[in-house]
Structure 1
């Protein structure tokens, strides 16, 4: 057998066994990194090895150290699974090995990116003429959108940042909610904009529109960016977009929305009201490897004005074969990248419009079931209004909450992580996986009751 084919068959066998193990396996890893190093062997061999044997060694040695992220009982972070069509397509992406930067180099990729981008704008209710870039994740998507915003507001102020840099130019004010995600701060730091001015938020993490209006009124007339949020990482809450966008527009600000998982509320008839007014922004960042459940890695940077995105991200080179209508290279920072749009197209084509809506509503229904089940545990309190896919709870005091979390991870039935919210230790549940079932929720709730010292309930 051809060595490449033998290696692919070996990888397929291991992948199928891994996926088949997910419904019943312990969710946390069974081995630590040191054990995996010993199993793999730390020394580089002097000579080559058969590809199939290398694949077999890697898969066998690493399996005990894998966390069941793709399974239905991982709720520790906002981590989606992998929808079947997207998973299979991702294997093709690796086999095709396209460098997806130019239409001339990979017409197939460019066509799929165009189609998938148009589908996304339609599903998310965003401006049809917008531009969609496929990034590594929401952090890079935020970076990309905010780069477009930074350059545009400076351009309006008469400063060409692409030519002259930031040194000596007008200062850019950035206002963001006090409960924003750290990815926003990271992107702003990369862009040389420093920490944003925090705008007061309510107890669910929603920016207070009145506070934003007051902050905008008190800051002069220089370039401004306002960052709003679709889906607080603890509560799942959404900023009041209609009022906030209006206030930002009146101040001449660029409006960006960080919607890593929450932007997908727009596809659900039951939850679209959470996104009212969001389409009035200038840019939006989200993850496809969260709520949409495509493989890692895939973020989406969406900008209303394609020329603003192209001005910030576009590349020019004598050896590049660039198309008059633009190329994927004009939308994201990376010159070398894998074909992320292929997997997004596959997920959307497989699910269809109703399937994406059903996926989002199923995740939200599971979150509501978790909230109801935890509320019935003695001494437990659900602390957030469960409006989307996030649930935060405590178990009487910080010490008991941490004990419950530790026992739960030791139990292994599910993975749920802790956090600190409003100065209190909490159990934070993020429901993000397409494969989570009612039975997964029931089994996880039983494990939570055991960890809390409460008898399990009947089916």
Structure 2
């Protein structure tokens, strides 16, 4: 029988070793999914095994299939670097073993959520009376906020969807920018509002919603309305024009929701805050902690101005559950979960550790690195940065301007593949306005100016290799 403390020490030792060596690893998984299935594939054991041995086997077999997302040169997706403070706080969450559903079941977890929620509203400069629900990430944050929106706007029309469902309810029209994130459409599907049954509003070259097209479409539509705007387009980092959108929403008595998974953190820095002017006038917001706040997965926040609307959408009741008294904040009344982790703990720890100036520094550093990378890439022949780098996102296309869109897409994918083969940095690909592009997302806490040369040199080298192979192929054919 394993000593429980020895098991914990074994886990800590392996975690420490991984973090110490991660920056020296190849910036990508060593084995693919099929190989990992084969590695772990075995029948269910008939007899239990030694806990320390199980943990060591997990590490030995599992690490080759890990993508090092905490690596300083990981740029594949918009993911934070799981700061050690947040990781340590999250270990305590698991060790404490709290179900953070109620203030009576876990006073500490509930109090930390309350305080962390206040701090979030402060650092994001959002209405102090808003409710903050701690969820898994922006997908569930969007879902939760839009559930509150659905109920609130239908009750204005005399229908309570939370009590009576949607059969026979007045139809809701949802207006969303043509380049909204996929999580928004997923949330609408979960809510019965339909992924495809939306009014898609025209966007500009950077993915910003065009307010004149929104106004025209809203004016042509009767009935309850929800407008979904965006703070930080996932490819370009662009921000919708919030003041104009707010005016349209107010005139139409529509609920305005903002998907700000990473872009809402721009409000924490005085130089980037102006990009979000007017966003504070919305009705609800979604934002992630496991992006710029660097909490471990999974951590997101749904923020709703009308606390009652959120509570009505998320309410849960049973005789064995404690009732709400006075102004008590009951966590599970604000999110779609009863059994839930104490997600507020790592959020509190990261906000306490970083403070206002630490979050400002992260945003400033990452945006500065992104702009320097972009400027240097744009000087390389055949490399084209397609977006205005306002924040931390860069999208790049490869190939001469006189080549076809299809040819540039093939070259871009070849460069991405070559970069991943080299293992120095990790980048991703995406479809943008009909083009296949390479995405660079600068948001890991370990990333700083010292990584710029490695990024530019690796991309330049990969592009040179692809061009050389292309010429060789053309000559041989």
Offset of residue 21 of structure 1? 1.3
Does the aligned pair in 2 maintain the 1:377–1:454 contact within 8 Å? no
The correspondence of residues 260-271 of structure 1 with structure 2, limited to 5 A, is 260-271=261-272
**2-structure distance, mates of 1:320, 1:441:** 53
Where does residue 214 of structure 1 map in the other structure? 216
Where does residue 411 of structure 1 map in the other structure? 422
1:25-72 C-alpha deviation (Å, 9 max, x unpaired): 101111123333343342211101111111000011111111110111
Secondary structure of 1:419's partner?
strand
The correspondence of residues 119-268 of structure 1 with structure 2, limited to 5 A, is 119-194=119-194, 195=196, 196-220=198-222, 222-268=223-269
Offset of residue 230 of structure 1? 0.3
Where does residue 336 of structure 1 map in the other structure? 339
**1-structure distance, mates of 2:148, 2:367:** 33
Offset of residue 429 of structure 1? 0.8
**2-structure distance, mates of 1:409, 1:302:** 37
Secondary structure of 2:133's partner?
strand
Residue of 438, 441, 458 corresponding to 2:449: 438
Offset of residue 400 of structure 1? 1.5
Does the aligned pair in 2 maintain the 1:103–1:323 contact within 8 Å? no
- Following superposition, which runs of at least 4 residues in structure 1 exceed 3 angstroms of deviation? 37-41
1:256-278 C-alpha deviation (Å, 9 max, x unpaired): 00001101000011100011000
Does the aligned pair in 2 maintain the 1:102–1:322 contact within 8 Å? no
Secondary structure of 2:286's partner?
strand
Does the aligned pair in 2 maintain the 1:102–1:323 contact within 8 Å? no
**1-structure distance, mates of 2:457, 2:329:** 54
**2-structure distance, mates of 1:311, 1:241:** 27
Does the aligned pair in 2 maintain the 1:241–1:278 contact within 8 Å? yes
> Is 1:369–2:380 an aligned residue pair?
no
Where does residue 66 of structure 1 map in the other structure? 66
Does the aligned pair in 1 maintain the 2:2–2:51 contact within 8 Å? no
**Where does the alignment leave 5 or more consecutive residues of structure 1 unmatched?**
none
**1-structure distance, mates of 2:132, 2:363:** 21
1:104-140 C-alpha deviation (Å, 9 max, x unpaired): 0000011100100000001101000000000011000
Where does residue 380 of structure 1 map in the other structure? 383
Does the aligned pair in 2 maintain the 1:40–1:57 contact within 8 Å? no
**2-structure distance, mates of 1:159, 1:216:** 21
**2-structure distance, mates of 1:454, 1:58:** 37
Secondary structure of 1:7's partner?
helix
Query: Mean alpha-carbon deviation: is it higher for 277-286 or for 206-215?
Result: 206-215
| Number of aligned residue pairs | 454
Offset of residue 91 of structure 1? 0.7
Residue of 347, 355, 359 corresponding to 2:358: 355
**1-structure distance, mates of 2:70, 2:342:** 21
> Is 1:389–2:392 an aligned residue pair?
yes
Secondary structure of 2:431's partner?
strand
Offset of residue 87 of structure 1? 1.1
**2-structure distance, mates of 1:209, 1:293:** 33
1:201-220 C-alpha deviation (Å, 9 max, x unpaired): 11100001111111111102
Query: Mean alpha-carbon deviation: is it higher for 418-427 or for 137-146?
Result: 418-427
Secondary structure of 2:464's partner?
coil
1:284-311 C-alpha deviation (Å, 9 max, x unpaired): 0011001111000011000001111001
> Is 1:314–2:315 an aligned residue pair?
yes
Does the aligned pair in 1 maintain the 2:257–2:285 contact within 8 Å? yes
Does the aligned pair in 1 maintain the 2:209–2:241 contact within 8 Å? yes
Secondary structure of 1:23's partner?
helix
> Is 1:53–2:24 an aligned residue pair?
no
Offset of residue 2 of structure 1? 5.8
Q: Kindly report the root-mean-square deviation, in angstroms, between the aligned alpha carbons of the 2 structures.
A: 1.3
Offset of residue 450 of structure 1? 0.9
Does the aligned pair in 2 maintain the 1:298–1:340 contact within 8 Å? yes
**Where does the alignment leave 5 or more consecutive residues of structure 2 unmatched?**
400-407, 467-477
**1-structure distance, mates of 2:9, 2:276:** 45
1:419-441 C-alpha deviation (Å, 9 max, x unpaired): 12111111111111011122222
**2-structure distance, mates of 1:114, 1:290:** 21
Does the aligned pair in 2 maintain the 1:104–1:322 contact within 8 Å? no
Does the aligned pair in 2 maintain the 1:72–1:437 contact within 8 Å? yes
Offset of residue 444 of structure 1? 1.9
